[in-house]
């Protein structure tokens, strides 16, 4: 058996062997073909979350990669901002402890 199909030969065979079919069956086959061609022309990606189906229209792969990079960059900036806020809060706590004499300055002096 040949691994590659000749599309023209397939069309000829289908046309030749569909002639004995009735009109209703031919109309159904034509509608099925149109639906298949339409779906092939505009593929979409679907996933199910919590019983709901979400469908995205097909986009070039580069757009999804760009979206992923943007999301990761935003997550990185949010993490850095949270870390800086934590550091600022720790520095403020130390400053308050020094100013209220709860923490002696000798702790910060290097006596080597």
* pLDDT tens, residue by residue, 43-55: 555 666 666 766 6
Convert the pLDDT of each residue in 20-73 to its tens digit. Answer: 778 888 888 888 878 777 766 655 556 666 667 666 666 556 677 788 889 999
Contact status, residue 32 vs residue 21, Cβ threshold 8 Å: no
Q: 84-103 pLDDT, tens per residue? A: 999 999 999 888 888 888 87
Binning pLDDT at 50, 70 and 90, where does residue 77 land?
very high
Q: Global pTM?
A: 0.39
Q: Is 78 helix (H, G, I), strand (E, B) or coil?
A: helix
DSSP element (H, E) containing 80 = helix 61-99
Q: CA-to-CA distance for 7 and 14, rounded, in angstroms? A: 11
Note the pLDDT tens digit of each residue in 1-13.
Answer: 455 777 788 778 7
Radius of gyration of the chain (CA): 34
Query: Encoding tokens for residue 72?
Result: 């990761």
């Amino acid at each position: 058996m040949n691994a590659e199909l000749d599309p023209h030969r397939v069309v000829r065979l289908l046309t030749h062997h569909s002639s004995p079919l009735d009109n209703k069956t031919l109309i159904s086959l034509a509608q099925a073909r149109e639906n298949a061609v339409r779906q092939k022309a505009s593929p979409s990606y679907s996933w199910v979350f919590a019983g709901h189906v979400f469908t995205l229209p097909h986009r070039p792969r580069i757009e999804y990669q760009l979206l992923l990079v943007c999301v990761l960059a935003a997550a990185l900036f949010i993490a850095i901002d949270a870390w800086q806020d934590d550091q600022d809060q720790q520095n403020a706590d130390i400053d308050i402890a020094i100013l209220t004499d709860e923490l002696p300055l000798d702790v910060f002096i290097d006596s080597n």
